[in-house]
Amino acid sequence: MPRIKLENQLDIITYKSEYDKILIQFSADWCGPCKRITPQITNKFEQLNTNKILHLYIDVDKHKALSNNFNIQSIPTFFIYDKEGDLLIAPVTTSDINELTEYCINNGIMVNDSSY
């Protein structure tokens, strides 16, 4: 399961057509809670046996306009894009891997629910 660090904002259009679900993570390299949860969720996503789900990392400092469009108030904040319904699932702001795992599972991304 791929993980991509967004470089070009226009690439999101391509990703929306290529993947069934996208976990969108708004974070920053300087953010302690972000640094803690990013490798944990990356590990869970690497265990998925599919190329139809993407973990998209968006740096709020590099993509300020996009962060403003998504109304990001604190980080890390996660959204799930669902291609089937062409909808964005309500966000969760958390650095707790168990809470994020539950969010993913409840919205159709079947990550391993074991704790670290």
Which residue among the candidates 23, 34, 72, 75 is catalytic per the annotation?
34
Say whether 34 is catalytic. yes
Q: How far is CA 98 from CA 2, 51, 56, in A?
A: 21, 23, 19
Which two structure tokens, joined as six digits, stand for 28?
Answer: 């920053």
Which residue among the candidates 22, 31, 97, 100 is catalytic per the annotation?
31
- What span, in angstroms and rounded, lies between the C-alpha atoms of 28 and 38? 10
Task: Measure the CA dihedral 46/87/107/6, to 10°.
Answer: 20
- What span, in angstroms and rounded, lies between the C-alpha atoms of 24 and 16? 11
User: What number of helices (H) and strands (E) belong to the chain?
Assistant: 4, 5
Say whether 104 is catalytic. no
8 Å CB contact between 98 and 40: no
Catalytic residues: 31, 34
